[in-house]
Amino acid sequence: MKILAADIGGTNTKMGMCDEHGHIEQFKEYPTESLMGGPHVIDKLLLQLAAYTGYDAIAISTAGQVNSDEGYIVYANSNIPDYTGMKIREIIEDRFHKPVMVENDVNAAALGEAYFGAAQSFHDFLCLTFGTGIGGSIVIDRQIYRGAKGVAAEFGHLITHPLSGMNDDKSMPYYESYASATALVRMAQQVDPECVDGKVFFGKIRLGNEPLEQILQAWAAEVAIGLASLIHIFNPSAIIVGGGVMEQEDLVRAVEVQTQALIMESFADVKILKASLGNKAGLLGAASLFLR
């Protein structure tokens, strides 16, 4: 079976032809131009999909809260204006007359890791991606747990700093305000204004910058605070951590050490693992909706 899969991100959209073994052919990537709005994003997607032939179905992974049963966007923030309510499945099926399935991007990444990546050995695990914000997914018995309205696992909105919302600076109390990649860069710039992104930050770390290393350890502690709470709630076999910032093996180990220091002994066998599929996880996870 051949699945034409696309992964719509805030910056870039990836697509390719996937088979049941997790092989991807005819891979391409193009700018999403998300700030031009949801209708533009989908119109551009349709043009790109039209270049492919010889597939059985179409699978879409996308940013935003997704009603996967009906294939539309429940809610999308300002990163993709006018995306909320977009009936992606209906639009694509009407154009190409193929079965279509649509999934949230972090759920798709979790499924990709479950069937082709780091989570193949686990039936129950959590997946978190650390980027502009923090995305989450709950996998129970190798199925996505969606909650009553299908939008469960907004881990980025865990309240980890309840008093911060009472401060005069109007800072937000949420996990992602302190533990996202965005938060890491913000913390680093307070020490070194040259740290405009993660690439610069980790480059300076590799050169032995001690003040920035201390920032990294402080940020890893913020990550661990959220993970410890999730471990105590869900008792997962593993937590898969993804996002560009988590490509650093030493960082994942530091997060694991700090998390272990916060959890009860009876939960200590949980594994914290780096996502293994990189930027292909969403494509493969979307394809697995048809291949399972």
CATH of residue 102: 3.30.420.40
Q: Does 29 reside within a domain?
A: yes
- Give CA–CA dist 107/109, Å, rounded: 5
Q: Are residues 128 and 88 in the same domain?
A: no
Q: Are residues 47 and 160 in the same domain?
A: no
Q: Does 87 reside within a domain?
A: yes
Q: Are 281 and 15 in contact (CB under 8 A)?
A: no
Exposure string over 8-23, b if 16+ CB within 10 A, otherwise e: bbbeebbbbbbeeebe
For the chain, the domain total comes to 2
Q: What is the pLDDT of residue 206?
A: 92
Q: Are residues 128 and 228 in the same domain?
A: yes
Task: Confirm whether pTM is higher than 0.95.
Answer: no
Q: Are 224 and 230 in contact (CB under 8 A)?
A: no
- Residues 6 or more apart whose CB falls under 8 angstroms from that of 119 comprise 110, 113, 125, 127, 139, 238, 240, 273
- Residues 6 or more apart whose CB falls under 8 angstroms from that of 155 comprise 126, 128, 134, 135, 136, 175, 226, 230
Q: Does 115 reside within a domain?
A: no
Tokens of residue 136, six digits: 């989450």
Q: Does 211 reside within a domain?
A: yes
Q: What is the pLDDT of residue 4?
A: 98
Q: Are residues 29 and 98 in the same domain?
A: yes
Element (H, E) at 18: strand 12-18
Tokens of residue 100, six digits: 């279509």
- Give CA–CA dist 188/103, Å, rounded: 34
Q: Does 116 reside within a domain?
A: no
Q: Are residues 100 and 131 in the same domain?
A: no
- Give CA–CA dist 137/253, Å, rounded: 21
Q: Does 82 reside within a domain?
A: yes
Q: What is the pLDDT of residue 54?
A: 96
- Give CA–CA dist 155/129, Å, rounded: 10
Closest CA to 270 of 242, 229, 212, 211: 229
Query: Residue for token digits 């006018």?
Result: 82
Distances (CA, A) of 127 to 19, 184, 185, 230, 272: 23, 20, 22, 11, 10
Closest CA to 42 of 108, 110, 120, 96: 96
Q: Are residues 286 and 195 in the same domain?
A: no
Q: Are 6 and 48 in contact (CB under 8 A)?
A: yes
Q: What is the pLDDT of residue 224?
A: 98
Tokens of residue 278, six digits: 């990189």
Q: Please report the beta strands in 95-191, taking only residues with DSSP state E, as ranges in sequence order.
A: 100-104, 125-130, 134-140, 143-144
Q: Are residues 146 and 228 in the same domain?
A: yes
Q: Does 271 reside within a domain?
A: yes
- Give CA–CA dist 74/71, Å, rounded: 9
Q: Does 114 reside within a domain?
A: no
Determine the structural domain holding residue 50 and report its residue range.
3-109+280-291
Q: Spell out, as residue ranges, where the chain has pLDDT lower than 50.
A: none
Q: Are residues 140 and 97 in the same domain?
A: no
Q: Are residues 206 and 102 in the same domain?
A: no
